[in-house]
Structure 1
Amino acid sequence: MLILLTIALVAATALGFTQPHAGSEKKLAAQQLFRQTLSARAALSLEEYIRQLERVTAFDGKFAEAFHELGRAYIEQETIAGRDRAIVALERAIQLAPQNTEYRYTMAKLQLRRGAYATAKSEFRKIMKLDPMDARPYYQLALFREEDMLHYRDMVSPHENATIYFYEFANKDFAEAERLFRSAIGLDPKMADAYHHLAGLYFDAQLYEKMATLMEKAVTHLSSVDLFLFLGLARQQLGKADAAMQAYQQALELMPPADRAFFYSLQTVLSPDSLKIYERTPDSLQTQRQQLFWTARDPLFLTEANERLLEHFGRIAYANLRYGIPEKNIAGWKTDRGQTLIRFGQPRWRTRTRADLGTSATGRVTLNASKEFWDYGDFQMIFEDRFLNRNYAFAWGGVGEIDGKVIFDEKIRELPERYVFPHGGGRLKLPHVIAQFRDRQNPDSTKVEIYFGVADSVVYSTKPALHRGLFFFDENWSVIRQWREKRRLVNSTAAADHLADRWPVRMRPGTYQISLEVLDPKSSRSGAERETVVIEDFSAERLHMSSVVLAVADSSSSVLELYRDHNVHLVPVFLQEFFGETPIYVYYEIYNLALDAAGRSRYHLDYVVEPAPENKGLISRAAIRLGKLLGWRRQRMTIGSTFEAAGGSHDEKLYQRLEILGQPAGQYHLTIRVTDRVSGQSASRRVTLAIKQKNENND
């Protein structure tokens, strides 16, 4: 094909196209050669294509379309000289056809690439006047305003007596950028980039409702990965996790497989050492590790969506919008700011200094680059615009200065990633106690009782129907069992200002990761408590004790009732806290007591209440010792008692009222030891409790 097309062009030259004489002949020859050159474009090298277009313009110096095409070809050379030649060619095209907006648009885009922003803006404004219905110049001018808004939004200029802020400039740029983006969308409802950037504008201004409405409109016109990602991001900020996940899933389905895999990849969130291991892991095992990683970080299993994974998707989407460098084909997630954002999220505060001139120690005038500071509360990241192109990178550390890259590398070794789940605007505290007993119905299982409360004044006063969930996972965070239900919690005298509940389940012995969760569907506030629990095996034929449960006497709630007989009704105390005058009960069970020849069990009980070691600093410990010597502080004492007991069964259910009135406030350990007088075996349990005074803050 190349040979035939080349022959055709050579034949055209031989037929007289190189040396036409009359003006009309030259014009006709130029048009014919131009059409042949365009038709042969795919078969010609760029240099051959340029040579033929130069021949066309040589035949007809007033052929505007040919000069425009020649300018575009020069641009493709990707050289400074090529861009300079393109300027000359495009200027000639515009001179010949000043009303042609396409020629001006090509010139404006070229001036953008050359950094001649004022000239580019001028051309875009001329296009708007020539053709007010062309959406492109509105979009391009909006990008300038958007960039200025981002530049001034966080900028400060410290002076000796005051600090100057640039909010007014940023607000004006925001309003104009919004107007121009909306104008572009109105003229071209399928301009995806305009939707995308306007959504980013709304995100930065925290106008999430506007952002969601815009994206919902956009996806009715276009099926774009970026638009669905930003729709998910908007819904996520509005607390609509399930709807956000739906939008993200639509974006993932539109992605090529490699891009989709990157969104789940751990390469942007692991520590350097873990990343080396991860990259050497086979693909199939990488997938398993990804599932474990993201599942373990799901903050609320009660919801269908994994909010941590949603946050990760949103961070990547925002990084690619705000921090990408299109002219260098660098994705936003690869930049220094993009990597920081993906690992740690949006900073609490962001400030930017203006570039200015300074003087070195030798008296030489230096340029102090604009710096951008991201404050996360407990650490700060520093970036700088060292090349004055607004592409901020980690600040270089000079003599006596902090290097931004060093800060980042040290931080990701200590804290590879961070996410703080908002819990609907306020986390519900869930104090709880987990107790284990033998399952008399199924010897292969253990009866697990979870007693918990919700520590929240609003929930306590309104008493809404709450969603509650209990989830058991294995060591790889694969679900073993789960329960979800909606119910109203009850008042308990065991803890003031708490609603309380009880959750009995049966589980096989083993080690589990568990998550106890509560969600208020009206306010979206939630709470979750995670811990590793070893479920004991009570099936062996030896002396066993159940968990020791601290309780109070309370006959008002059958829902929370732990034990009852004709003398007492016991309710667990999930706070493990008691005021000095409150009677404290303990409940526990003994299994596999041996029986003597008369069919009777005989066993010895030891109760010891002793002060828990105080975790104090050196100065605090010295002050406590001095206070004891001078009589300022009552000493906490060890209290003990013993009992001999007998029964007619292998198993016993026991409760005991503890008499520790008058003990000073503090943490105590209660140890109960059972010794079987028949078999000689013994078993013991320890539980921690707190004694508080009435005037103590009970939060």
Structure 2
Amino acid sequence: MSPNPINKSNFKREGHAATAGFYFLVAAFLVLFISSRSDCEQASHNNKVLEINCAAAESLIAIDSLDKAEKIIKQNLKIDRKHAQSHFLMGELYRLRNSIISRRQSAEYLRQAVTSEPENDVYHYSLGLTYQKQGFTGNALSEFKKAARLNPKNSEALRKIAAIYESIGLRYDDKELYMNALEYAAKAAAVERNPADYYNQAKMLIKMDLFDQALFKVDTALTFEPDSTLTKNLYLIRGLCNNRIGDFEGANADFNKAKSLMNINELAGFEDIHLVITPQDYQRLLSLTSYQRKTETAKIWNSLDPDLTTTFNERRIEHYARQVYANISFSISEKGIEGKNTRRGETLIRFGFPEKKIYIYGEPMSHPPIGSSWIWKYFIDGQEYSLRFEDIYHNGNFDYPFTNEAGSLSNNTAYLADYLARTVAQKYEFATAEPTLNYAYDVKQYKGNHGNTELEIYYNIPYVELSFITQDDAAYADFEIKATLHSSDLTLLDSTTIKRRAKIPATLIGNRRLAISDNFPMEARADSVYLSLAAKNPVNNHVGRSRQAIALRSFYLDQVEISDIVLAREVSYLDSLKSVNRNTIKLSTNLDNRYFISEPLIIYFEYYNLNLGPDSRTHYRIVQTVTKLKKPKIIGTITGYKAAEQVVTVFEESNIKTHENRLMTFDFSKFSAGRYRITIEIEDTISGKSSVAFQDIILYE
């Protein structure tokens, strides 16, 4: 008796053909021989004849010699019309012929085999395969379950059960069915420890949003060293899982490994961006040369990168992850359709997951039949859009429904999808699994070297955002800051990574008002740039991210220039033996520019391009003005604060250097609380040119 349905791939065709020929001759001889014997003698040899004929038929089926096999099996059924294995082989044979009539005949023969030997798990499994070919999924599931119950180690039956539950679960997005699929895939894995079974488990765990558990299944599958195709798919869903849990670095590495296993066509499809940009932009992209297209694509991805401080592009990783999820969810394997190429797959890749999904059951018996539908609702720019996908042909491929409402956003899903693609292009909100670290920063500009503009980034990180460890009377906390400067076309201009340890009195750990205050420099040519920052607490992995467009000033002009003004509550001298400049002092700033009247206010600024007089010295004056600002009481005014009082101080200065700086201390103890503006004007008395900078502050009592 055959232990499993016939699998032609298990046979070497030439050798098995010889075996089949031998069995065929033996079977023919036995028929002639037995026909000459008495009834008693013939009966005693029936079992041996049936066995030899079945072996011959099985060998012939394995080499696609179905007609010869059918003749031998029919001889068996003449001997014993209820012979179970003969009915089984006839059922296998007719299923291989794969026509509507032959599949029906296959089911009839296999039902007879099951009736004759109801405890044979192989026969139930084979009948399940035929029912599946006929499209009778419920009947197939029942037979596969019988096979698994009769033989709990029938891994093929277990896999078929898991696949059916997966298929139905994906149609209705039903977590209970996903659980059933997961259960039977796990049972199959326990029998054979096949990496594909762990892959199938991981897919169902992903559909239930259990990404950590899915990662465990993927890692287990990879230990079995699967073939390259399965390895590629395992890394793809591993990348998806890591993306979902916020491990973008891990996801990037996984997707790169998967891409290394793709062929040229697969890789081109995976990297294609037609669902990231508008159709009109995509057509323009296709009109470029190969080199131009590659350059333009890189610019597009850079423009969408939400965190330029990392070495990977989180938006691009999300694009990969959406493709993988679409393939898991919407693929139609029997038709060779990848999920990412279906209407739902394309929509998910372009706009992400819908805010709401509704399943509507169809009416297949109506005239004309109405297919089941999914309705996806998106909220884009404050407006709700509903996209309908209908299983028009009842084959699992949900497409845009047919409609006569041409050009209607409300009733024509195809028109609405095209409209959104052309106007919105794509939807993406950068979200991370880790909580945000709150911090503040301010950027000041100074004259740099070799025609560059130097930026000094002052930052405050509240004590409560850091994880301190106490030691005696002190407390220590580590933090990291990554910063990048990119040009308007997102070419990297400068980058820095800072790892520091803060030390504070242990009694101040919980103080919500206090913050670590420090600064660091960056440099670039005067132009429009993007400054990207990421501050991280390495203990709890909380990260704060920001991006700001900055117009850099040029200090290399033929005119007097003054830098931005820095306000500080305290100054520390890093090297008392050197002259005062930004590199020899540390300013503790309040970035909200709020200070108490009772404490001194320190300001720092630099000025450049002063002219030398006949005596080889500069001559200039510093005009310092403190203006109290008062908000107008006129109802409906939009003019902001007005000057109410002013205190002006003038300093006459001279020096041999054309580039100087000032560190000044203001005493506001005699001022009243309120909003003030500090203005510094540098007047070059030799050239008559001047430059002004100001900074607003709020004073508290």
Superposition TM-score tier, normalisation by shorter sequence: 0.7 to 0.9
Asked whether the 8 Å contact 1:432–1:574 carries over to 2, the reply is: no
Q: Which residue of 1 aligns with 2:186?
A: 182
- CA separation of 1:65/1:478 partners in 2, compared to 1, >3 Å: closer, same or farther? farther
Rounded to whole Å, the distance in 1 between the matches of 2:573 and 2:185 is 61
Q: Could you list the per-position Cα deviations for residues 559-614 of structure 1 after superposition, in whole angstroms to 9, with x for gaps in the alignment?
A: 9xx9969xxx8836463533685876553222121233344433355678899999
Q: Which residue of 2 aligns with 1:282?
A: 289
Q: Which residue of 1 aligns with 2:155?
A: 135
Q: Which residue of 2 aligns with 1:553?
A: 569
SS at match of 1:645: strand
Rounded to whole Å, the distance in 1 between the matches of 2:284 and 2:94 is 51
Q: Which residue of 2 aligns with 1:602?
A: 619
2:141 counterpart (115, 121, 132): 121
2:545 counterpart (518, 521, 528): 528
Rounded to whole Å, the distance in 2 between the matches of 1:428 and 1:407 is 39
User: Is residue 2:653 matched to residue 1:646?
Assistant: yes
TM-score (norm 1): 0.74
- CA separation of 1:479/1:596 partners in 2, compared to 1, >3 Å: closer, same or farther? closer
Q: Which residue of 2 aligns with 1:70?
A: 93
Aligned residues: 629
- CA separation of 1:373/1:196 partners in 2, compared to 1, >3 Å: closer, same or farther? same
User: Is residue 2:699 matched to residue 1:676?
Assistant: no
1:577 counterpart (582, 593, 602): 593
2:388 counterpart (371, 383, 388): 383
Asked whether the 8 Å contact 1:584–1:658 carries over to 2, the reply is: yes
Q: Which residue of 1 aligns with 2:635?
A: 626
Rounded to whole Å, the distance in 2 between the matches of 1:274 and 1:513 is 24
SS at match of 1:593: coil
Q: Which residue of 1 aligns with 2:12?
A: none
Rounded to whole Å, the distance in 2 between the matches of 1:594 and 1:257 is 64
- CA separation of 1:369/1:72 partners in 2, compared to 1, >3 Å: closer, same or farther? closer
Rounded to whole Å, the distance in 2 between the matches of 1:563 and 1:690 is 28
Q: Which residue of 2 aligns with 1:166?
A: none
SS at match of 1:268: coil
Rounded to whole Å, the distance in 2 between the matches of 1:83 and 1:66 is 13
Rounded to whole Å, the distance in 1 between the matches of 2:223 and 2:207 is 24
Asked whether the 8 Å contact 1:515–1:528 carries over to 2, the reply is: yes
Q: Shift in Å at residue 523 of structure 1?
A: 1.4
Q: Shift in Å at residue 519 of structure 1?
A: 1.7
User: Is residue 2:261 matched to residue 1:248?
Assistant: no
Q: Look up the equivalent residue of 1:425 and give its one-letter code.
A: E
Q: Could you list the per-position Cα deviations for residues 355-401 of structure 1 after superposition, in whole angstroms to 9, with x for gaps in the alignment?
A: 2779x9xxx99969444434558545533444455544456678794
Q: Shift in Å at residue 525 of structure 1?
A: 1.4
Q: Which residue of 2 aligns with 1:163?
A: none
Asked whether the 8 Å contact 1:606–1:673 carries over to 2, the reply is: yes
SS at match of 1:452: strand
SS at match of 1:125: helix
Q: Which residue of 1 aligns with 2:318?
A: 311
2:559 counterpart (531, 538, 543): 543
Q: Which stretch shifts more, 332-341 or 294-303?
A: 294-303
Q: Look up the equivalent residue of 2:662 and give its one-letter code.
A: L
SS at match of 1:551: strand
Q: Which residue of 2 aligns with 1:467?
A: 480
Q: Look up the equivalent residue of 1:316 and give its one-letter code.
A: Q
Q: Could you list the per-position Cα deviations for residues 464-490 of structure 1 after superposition, in whole angstroms to 9, with x for gaps in the alignment?
A: 311222223345544443322311357
Q: Shift in Å at residue 186 of structure 1?
A: 0.7
Q: Look up the equivalent residue of 2:419 and give its one-letter code.
A: E
Rounded to whole Å, the distance in 2 between the matches of 1:628 and 1:64 is 95
Q: Which residue of 2 aligns with 1:458?
A: 465
User: Is residue 2:273 matched to residue 1:269?
Assistant: no
Q: Which residue of 1 aligns with 2:199?
A: 196
Q: Look up the equivalent residue of 2:542 and give its one-letter code.
A: R
SS at match of 1:212: helix
Rounded to whole Å, the distance in 2 between the matches of 1:543 and 1:491 is 44
SS at match of 2:268: helix
User: Is residue 2:429 matched to residue 1:413?
Assistant: no
Rounded to whole Å, the distance in 2 between the matches of 1:355 and 1:456 is 56
Q: Which residue of 2 aligns with 1:229?
A: 236
Rounded to whole Å, the distance in 2 between the matches of 1:535 and 1:491 is 35
Q: Which residue of 2 aligns with 1:517?
A: 534
Q: Shift in Å at residue 295 of structure 1?
A: 4.5
Rounded to whole Å, the distance in 2 between the matches of 1:339 and 1:611 is 59
Q: Shift in Å at residue 333 of structure 1?
A: 0.6
1:209 counterpart (189, 192, 212): 212
Q: Shift in Å at residue 503 of structure 1?
A: 0.5
Q: Mark the runs of 5 or more structure 1 residues left unpaired by the alignment.
A: 1-7, 42-48, 155-169, 615-622, 695-699
SS at match of 1:221: coil
Q: Look up the equivalent residue of 1:548 and give its one-letter code.
A: D
Asked whether the 8 Å contact 1:70–1:89 carries over to 2, the reply is: no
Q: Which residue of 1 aligns with 2:604?
A: 587
Rounded to whole Å, the distance in 2 between the matches of 1:414 and 1:427 is 31
Rounded to whole Å, the distance in 1 between the matches of 2:287 and 2:588 is 50
Q: Could you list the per-position Cα deviations for residues 517-569 of structure 1 after superposition, in whole angstroms to 9, with x for gaps in the alignment?
A: 222222111122223445555445x224243123033146869xx9969xxx8
- CA separation of 1:293/1:466 partners in 2, compared to 1, >3 Å: closer, same or farther? farther
Asked whether the 8 Å contact 1:71–1:86 carries over to 2, the reply is: yes
Rounded to whole Å, the distance in 1 between the matches of 2:328 and 2:140 is 22
Q: Which residue of 1 aligns with 2:44?
A: none
What is the percentage of aligned positions where both structures have the same residue?
20
Rounded to whole Å, the distance in 1 between the matches of 2:492 and 2:276 is 24
Rounded to whole Å, the distance in 1 between the matches of 2:326 and 2:488 is 33
Q: Could you list the per-position Cα deviations for residues 158-193 of structure 1 after superposition, in whole angstroms to 9, with x for gaps in the alignment?
A: xxxxxxxxxxxx44x45433322210111121151x
- CA separation of 1:611/1:309 partners in 2, compared to 1, >3 Å: closer, same or farther? farther
- CA separation of 1:524/1:110 partners in 2, compared to 1, >3 Å: closer, same or farther? farther
Asked whether the 8 Å contact 1:229–1:247 carries over to 2, the reply is: yes
Q: Look up the equivalent residue of 1:521 and give its one-letter code.
A: P
Rounded to whole Å, the distance in 2 between the matches of 1:510 and 1:261 is 36
Q: Which residue of 2 aligns with 1:485?
A: 498
TM-score (norm 2): 0.74
Q: Which stretch shifts more, 118-127 or 462-471?
A: 462-471
Rounded to whole Å, the distance in 2 between the matches of 1:329 and 1:600 is 83
Q: Could you list the per-position Cα deviations for residues 186-223 of structure 1 after superposition, in whole angstroms to 9, with x for gaps in the alignment?
A: 1121151x323321222233333322221111111243
Q: Shift in Å at residue 282 of structure 1?
A: 3.3
Q: Look up the equivalent residue of 1:132 and give its one-letter code.
A: P
Q: Which residue of 1 aligns with 2:437?
A: 428
SS at match of 1:447: strand
Rounded to whole Å, the distance in 2 between the matches of 1:380 and 1:547 is 50
Q: Which residue of 1 aligns with 2:642?
A: 636
Rounded to whole Å, the distance in 2 between the matches of 1:336 and 1:690 is 56
